[in-house]
Structures are given as structure tokens and as C-alpha cells.
Amino acid sequence: MKLQTQFNDFLIETVNLNATRVSLLFDAVVNLKSFIRKSDYGARIKTFARQGSWAHQTIIKPLAGDEYDADLLMVVYAKDGWTASDYVDYLYDVFAASGVYRDKVTRYDYCVTIEYAGVRKVDIAPCVIDRVWRGYEVCNRAKNQFEETRPIEYTEWLIEQNGYSGGNSFRKVTRLLKYLRDIKTTFTCPSVLLTTLIGQQISWLDQGKANYADVPTALVTLISRLDDWLQQRPNRPQVLNPKLSTEDFGLLWTDNQYGNFRTCIHRYRGWIEEAYNCEDRGESIRAWQRVFGDEFGKGANVLAEKAATDAISVDHFLSETAAHSDGLVDFVKRAGLAILPKWFFKPPYLKAPQWQVSKELIRTVRVVATWHSSKDSTDKKPVLAGDPVPPRGGLWFEVRQPDGSVIPDGYIVHWRVTNTGAAAIAANRQRGDFYVSNRRYSRWEPLQYRGVHMTEAFIVRTSDDVLVAQSEPFAVLIE
């Protein structure tokens, strides 16, 4: 069974890097770029560019206890007299001399890494342009050699493959298979290698085809093609960079690692096809959990068990508890936001937008939140959607673009704030109306009523008063 809703929830709640982490990463990179530009690093900087899974939009949320990272390419003009090692060593020296970064910096073969308390890290790799020819070269510090690279062209190729698959299917499937790799730990496959293998299974002939109609269908399509390709190659193959034929990603495997990868993909293909073709909903959820673990469809399972115990339907249970029972807070804390269907976020007192809506309404902007003890306090703590928060202090909400950047000039943000739960109803504070920002693109909301509440951002273009973007609801769980 496809279970499209469960796949969408699984991606949002478990697999995708959430908006708060994206925001923290974006802020860290902004500060790093500013620091380097103001430093006395000897080579002249041309630009910075995102690289790796961050640039490819295949970055995933780390497993509990693990850190997430991002690759930042620092493009510099060639410096007379500098060797390949110098570009990395001098960058390390700049950070090592800083009181802010001294304890965070580590030097590797190709990059300098800034690590933030074991939670996230940023790899900064110098890339020299126009040294002896009009091209890009990374710096191998260990061998003191320059090595040709084409990161921008490679990223453009992945964007093209994603376009052929439609519906962002390539990126979603890549994230799912990276999550499968990380949670199972049964095979080894570096991200650039896995991403290239998946991208190679897509061609321009796939445009508009039904085998990418939804996420589970795209997953079956691509893992089947990948397995077929692997089964035709019993020995470790070349996996060439599609934009640099001299670079073989296949060398990132040993022969044994390749053989194990080939075996594992064949096994997981069978499990995925079994789950996809299963006609019973409950059995299909369990089959998908065999692939992706208990986090998949967790909310659906909890609701199913609750409905069976109480001899009532899931919808009836939610309709009874969502607006009236304090027990919903504890229920959501145990099961997660995935238990809440979309209609929960559309209570009857919700006010409709009053602006003309753009024909191409953007739905990828994200709300991020931080907890503060008071409106003007400097203490803060990032809060993810659905995180339990106490009924004191408040949240500053901000809206960000998909890459974590702020909304540009020429727009105004309106906030729709909605409460549910017995406490808010008793105080006649269901709300559901629109409010202006307290600061440029931010809204302060005190925490008071126990329940599951929501905040949404609506971005209006000031030149013509047209609604151009809208976020998904950010769920606030007040204990």
C-alpha cells in the first residue's frame, strides 16, 4: 500500500532536516563567511558556495546523538607562491588565532571544520580558481596537490535529474535511502556516491511518467532500477562523476563494501516492493516499518491501538479530544504530531486570508521559533514544532525561506495564530485571526493555555497587496 500520508509525515517529522536546524546552520555560515572576509587570510576571496547534500537539498536530520554537517566551498583566486597545503593551513591558522573559533576548529586533508558542541559542523574547503587554467581546483593538503573539481556543474546535473523525476522525487527518495543507510547501518555508501547512483537511474524520458506520481511509487521505481543496475555488475564498477569523467566515485568503496551494498539493496528492494503491494493497511505499515523502523507510521499505529481499545474511530477520538480534553497534550507528547490529521489544523473559527492569492503561491517557507523567558530577554532556546513547552515565557516566531535566508525587502508578514484546548476555550481565546509582526518579520506570542496551538506565516507583497507565500502550521504544544 502506498500510504502517501504516512510517507509525507515521515519525511517531515523524521527524515528532513527541520527548519530550526536549517536556521541555525544558516546563521552559523553567515557568521563564518563574515569572519573569513574580515580576516587576514592571504588569498583573495571570490565567493562562497554551498556544496554537498546541503546544496543538493538531500541533507537529512541526524539520528539521535549524531551531528549534522554542511559543506561550504570557499572560492579564492590563486595566490602567488602558495602551495596546495597553504590554502588549507592558512585558513586553519586564521580560525586557530580567534578566541571565538579556537576550540572549535579542526584541520583535515581538504578542509577546515568548525564544530559546534557536537551538534553540527561546517566543513570549509578552499577551492582555487584560474590558477593555471580557467577552472576550479580543490587543495589536497596531505599530498600537497591541486585536484580538478566541478562542484557547480555537478549540482546543476542533480537539479536537472530532480526536474526530470518531477515532484521533487529524486531528492525525497535520496533522503529516504540515506536515512535507510543510517538507521540500518548494514551497508557503506558515502553520500556523494549514493546520490550519483540514484541520479543515474533518471533520464529526460522520465518526465511526466506515472512511476513518479508520489513518494512511495518513486521509491519503488528508483530502487528497482538501482538494483537491476547493480545485479548486472558483480564486480565493483566505475561510478563516474557525470561532469568530470576523470573522477571515479566508485573508488570510495572497497570490493567487499561494494559486494555488501549490492546484496543489501537487493534485499531492501524486496522488502519495499512487499510493503508497496500489501493490500491490508495494518500489514503494510508493519512492512514499511521493517524497512524504515518504528518511526514510520508511528502515529497511525498509536491511533489504531487507541481506537481498538476504546471501540471508537480515530476521527471520533480526535474530534472529541482536540477541542476539549487536556489529555490530547499527553497523547501528542507520546505519539508525536503525526497523529494529527490535516483537518485538525483547520478548526471552524479559523479566519480566511483577506488578500488576493498569487496563482503560484509558494508553500515552502518555514516558521522557526525560539523560547524566551520574556519578550525582551536575550536568553533563548530553539523550539521545534511539537516540542513540549511550559506555560510561561513565550515564543518569538520568524519566517524563513527554504534555504534558511530571511524574507527580502518589499514584503510584509502577517501571522495567523490559533488556539485549541479546553483552557483556551474556557477563556474565549480560540483566536484564529491575523496579526501583524512585532518586529520586521517576527511575532511574539506568550505561552499560557494548555493545548495544541498553531502559528502560520502569510507573506504579502507590498507593491500590489498579493499573498505570495504561506507556511505550513507550526504546532505549539503547551503543557
Axis crossing angle, helix 327-335 with helix 314-321, rounded to the nearest 10: 130
Q: How confident is the model at residue 327 (pLDDT cuts 50, 70, 90)?
A: low
Sheet holding 442-446, edge to edge: 381-383, 366-372, 394-400, 442-446
* 378, part of any domain: yes
* Cα 312 from chain centre: 36
Do 103 and 168 fall within a single domain? no
Do 316 and 234 fall within a single domain? no
Euclidean distance between CA atoms 119 and 65, whole angstroms = 8
Per-residue pLDDT at 427: 85
The CA–CA distances, whole Å, from 142 to 104, 122, 129, 253, 320 equal 21, 20, 20, 20, 64
How many C-beta neighbours within 10 Å does residue 334 have? 11
The 8 Å CB, 24+ separation contacts for 276-281 are: 276/1, 276/2, 276/216, 276/217, 276/219, 276/220, 278/1, 279/1, 280/1, 281/1, 281/3
Residue 232 clears pLDDT 60, i.e. is over it: yes
* 283, part of any domain: no
Do 260 and 179 fall within a single domain? yes
Per-residue pLDDT at 321: 45
* 19, part of any domain: yes
Do 383 and 336 fall within a single domain? no
Most confident stretch, 239-243, 283-287, 361-365 = 239-243
User: Which region holds residue 374: left if phi is over 0, alpha if psi is between -120 and 50, else beta?
Assistant: beta
Residue 324 clears pLDDT 70, i.e. is over it: no
Euclidean distance between CA atoms 412 and 365, whole angstroms = 14
Is residue 78 within 8 Å of residue 89, measured between CB atoms? no
Per-residue pLDDT at 117: 77
**53 or 320: which leads in pLDDT:** 53
Phi then psi for residue 457, to 5 deg, are: -110, 135
Q: Which residues pair with 417 in a beta bridge?
A: 433, 455
* 322, part of any domain: yes
DSSP state of 407: P
Do 143 and 17 fall within a single domain? yes
Do 235 and 323 fall within a single domain? no
Is residue 296 within 8 Å of residue 6, measured between CB atoms? yes
Do 192 and 166 fall within a single domain? yes
Do 135 and 10 fall within a single domain? yes
Q: Whose grid coordinates read 544558516?
A: 26
**51 or 341: which leads in pLDDT:** 51
- Region 25-51: mean pLDDT is 93
Indicate which CATH number applies to the domain containing 447: 2.60.40
* 211, part of any domain: yes
Euclidean distance between CA atoms 421 and 426, whole angstroms = 9
DSSP state of 61: P
Per-residue pLDDT at 312: 38
**254 or 422: which leads in pLDDT:** 254
Domain boundary among 276, 305, 333: 276
Per the structure, how many domains does the chain have?
4
Do 224 and 102 fall within a single domain? no
- Region 460-479: mean pLDDT is 92
Q: Whose grid coordinates read 518511526?
A: 295
Q: 36 Cβ partners below 8 Å, 6+ apart?
A: 45, 74, 91, 94, 124
Q: Which residues pair with 453 in a beta bridge?
A: 476
Q: Which domain holds residue 270?
A: 153-276
Q: Whose grid coordinates read 523525476?
A: 165
The CA–CA distances, whole Å, from 217 to 59, 162, 213, 244, 463 equal 21, 15, 6, 31, 42
Q: Per the structure block, which three cell numbers stand in for 385? A: 514544532
Do 249 and 382 fall within a single domain? no
- The share of the chain scoring above pLDDT 70, in percent, equals 93
* 429, part of any domain: yes
- Region 197-212: mean pLDDT is 92
Q: How confident is the model at residue 301 (pLDDT cuts 50, 70, 90)?
A: low
Do 318 and 341 fall within a single domain? yes
Q: Write out pLDDT tens, residues 399-426.
A: 998 777 888 889 999 999 999 887 888 8
Q: Per the structure block, which three cell numbers stand in for 153? A: 556543474
* 96, part of any domain: yes
- Region 437-442: mean pLDDT is 88
Indicate which CATH number applies to the domain containing 82: 3.30.460.10
Residue 370 clears pLDDT 50, i.e. is over it: yes
Do 308 and 391 fall within a single domain? no
* 112, part of any domain: yes
How many C-beta neighbours within 10 Å does residue 73 have? 23
Mean pLDDT of the chain: 89
pTM of the model: 0.65
